[in-house]
Structure 1
Amino acid sequence: MSTQPVVLITGALTGIGRAIALAYARDKARVVVSGRRDEAGRALADELRELGAEAEYVHADVSQEDEVHTLVEHTLARFGRLDIAVNAAGTEGEAGPITELTPERYTAVFDANVLGTLLAMKHELRAMTAQGSGSIVNISSTMGSRGAPNVSLYVASKHAVEGLTKSAALEAAPFGVRVNAVAPGPVQTAMLDRFTPNPERKAALLAGVPLKRAGNPEEIADAVRFVGSEQASFMTGEILRVNGGRTAA
């Protein structure tokens, strides 16, 4: 029987989520990845297997509870347990001042970032508390602890993710389950390119990072692997900020 951990990753098809999946595959973990683009998902699963992981792709929209439930149940049926869950699915939404926001734009962001995290934890925690162990890592953002103009919905959603993380940690602790979050700063992904659509805006953003650069997805994946592992066994309800010093001041 394999002793390698069973890892479930939502939002695994691009950016940080993809880097996390590749990192666990290199560790030879047993990995289930999910997303909404099936061709890309199957291709990722093949890539993870080439790295030596047992890997599967399961279609799941995290804002749909039946799909999240099926995702977790499939993981349990395939591997018999769930050791680490990384909730990376999310969206930045459409930028704009508060005076121009609409209920539809609110729903688009909060369904993905907040409801998706909530539903994922609901079903992941049911599995983990039943087995008496497990670790959940949610993906927040530097903006989960500060404000920013014209991206208020994204900011508010990541504040909510951090609140959910802390509350879930308190509920899960008596069962031997840990819940934490990793909060990246600017990371070189397609999302960063959408946030900063021209070189001038990107340069202005990175000027506010003490290390004077964007992070890379692999650096965030390393942080997630640490937080999810037994090396962080006395850590729960915490937000690990990996942002080049952006929130130090």
Structure 2
Amino acid sequence: MSANGKYASKLVGKRVLIIGGTAGIGLAVAEASVELGAVAVVISSSNAGRIDAAVSHLQKSYPTANCNIMGFKCDLKQEELLEPNIAALFDASTSNGTEKLDHIVFTAGDHPDPTPISEIDFNFIKEAGLVRLFAPLLIAKYAAKHVAPGLTSSFTLTSGISAYRPYPNWNAIGAYVSSSEGLMRSLAVELKPLRVNLVCLGPVDTDLMTRFYPNPDQRKAVLDAISQKVVTGAIGQAKDVAEAFLYCMKDYNLSGSVIHSNAGILLV
């Protein structure tokens, strides 16, 4: 290793699994992992078409990269199949356990459905937790078996600022988002020396915004309003936010920590 490559080379030869890696921040993390020399990048989501499109995008964007780019479907919203789906994902990603992963990044999510407390029931509460709590717990179970041991390996979770500034009718959803920090700290102790951290995000300009605001004019108005409010004067971009996840992978001294990327929105 050359003297001027000791920082840039930390992901060279690594195997990275990104759950929720077909769009937005997850895809940006996948792009960065390929750029930084990962030997294998595995992306996963519940939509086979999006997986194929993301794999094709990565292969076309980095035609000379010496990286095995793969995608596997894993539906985290099927309650009865949740653990079998996760087990199958890890088997596929590691060639049935013969090729250990070095890093796992969890950016998966679903479209939240804010509901007044007077209208929720047990099924709503349970369904709100499938992707936000139950899936990460089960992923941690299989990470313990399929990730290379040692402090150079990592598992990075994702949450949002609603953990600090709840939205209206966010009851069960907000509770699960807030629980991500406690989950991360518990896993950091239980899975040590595997490093476990969490990236807490503010608003980011991704396709999730389009789902919230399908009308282009309304979406632009919302993004402009956020940009005028935040300290940086601009809404977050996936390519910038991805740096927080790269940091969690590359800092071997980091575990049990929350990294914030939110344009300073919690200050105003």
| Pairwise CA distance, 1:168 | 0.3
Q: Which position in structure 1 is the counterpart of 2:6?
A: none
Residues of 1 paired with 2:223 and 2:213: CA distance? Answer: 5
Note the residue ranges of structure 2 that are not aligned, 5 or more in a row: 1-10
Give matches, 1:72-87, under 5 Å: 72-77=90-95, 80-87=99-106
Residues of 2 paired with 1:90 and 1:160: CA distance? Answer: 15
Q: Which position in structure 1 is the counterpart of 2:236?
A: 215
CA pair 85-191 structure 1, distance change in 2 beyond 3 A = same
Matched letter for residue 161 of structure 1 = S
Matched letter for residue 28 of structure 2 = A
TM-score in terms of structure 2 length:
0.82
| Pairwise CA distance, 1:165 | 0.6
Matched letter for residue 227 of structure 1 = C
Q: Which position in structure 2 is the counterpart of 1:136?
A: 155
RMSD in angstroms over aligned alpha carbons?
Answer: 2.3
More helix by share: 1
Residues of 1 paired with 2:227 and 2:110: CA distance? Answer: 21
Residues of 1 paired with 2:209 and 2:174: CA distance? Answer: 15
Residues of 2 paired with 1:146 and 1:92: CA distance? Answer: 18
Contact 1:87 1:120 in 2 (8 A): no
Q: Which position in structure 1 is the counterpart of 2:195?
A: 178
Note the residue ranges of structure 1 that are not aligned, 5 or more in a row: none
| Pairwise CA distance, 1:98 | 2.4
Q: Which position in structure 1 is the counterpart of 2:30?
A: 21
Matched letter for residue 22 of structure 1 = E
| Pairwise CA distance, 1:92 | 3.9
Residues of 2 paired with 1:14 and 1:104: CA distance? Answer: 28
Contact 1:188 1:216 in 2 (8 A): yes
Residues of 2 paired with 1:55 and 1:191: CA distance? Answer: 24
Contact 2:12 2:37 in 1 (8 A): no
Residues of 2 paired with 1:190 and 1:143: CA distance? Answer: 19
Matched, 1:167 2:186: yes
Q: Which position in structure 1 is the counterpart of 2:253?
A: 234
Of 106, 128, 133, the residue aligned with 1:114 is: 133
Matched letter for residue 56 of structure 1 = M
Deviation sequence 1:122-164 (CA, Å, 0-9, x none): 2112323x63352011111122233222333332221112211
Contact 1:25 1:49 in 2 (8 A): no
Residues of 1 paired with 2:141 and 2:59: CA distance? Answer: 28
Tell me, what secondary structure is at the counterpart of 1:244?
coil
Moved more, 4-13 or 137-146: 137-146
Matched, 1:192 2:201: no
| Pairwise CA distance, 1:114 | 1.2
Of 43, 50, 55, the residue aligned with 1:45 is: 55
| Pairwise CA distance, 1:204 | 4.3
Between Structure 1 and Structure 2, how many residues are aligned?
243
Q: Which position in structure 2 is the counterpart of 1:93?
A: 112
| Pairwise CA distance, 1:207 | 4.3
Instruction: Indicate the structure (1 or 2) with the bigger Cα radius of gyration.
Output: 2
Residues of 2 paired with 1:209 and 1:187: CA distance? Answer: 12
| Identity across matched positions, percent | 26
Contact 2:223 2:235 in 1 (8 A): no
Tell me, what secondary structure is at the counterpart of 2:185?
helix
Residues of 2 paired with 1:208 and 1:150: CA distance? Answer: 23
CA pair 58-158 structure 1, distance change in 2 beyond 3 A = same
Contact 2:226 2:235 in 1 (8 A): no
Tell me, what secondary structure is at the counterpart of 1:33?
strand
Q: Which position in structure 2 is the counterpart of 1:31?
A: 41
TM-score in terms of structure 1 length:
0.87
Residues of 1 paired with 2:111 and 2:83: CA distance? Answer: 21
| Pairwise CA distance, 1:166 | 0.9
Contact 1:137 1:180 in 2 (8 A): yes
Deviation sequence 1:184-233 (CA, Å, 0-9, x none): 1100012233445625544444444222321011111111011111xx11
Tell me, what secondary structure is at the counterpart of 1:85?
strand
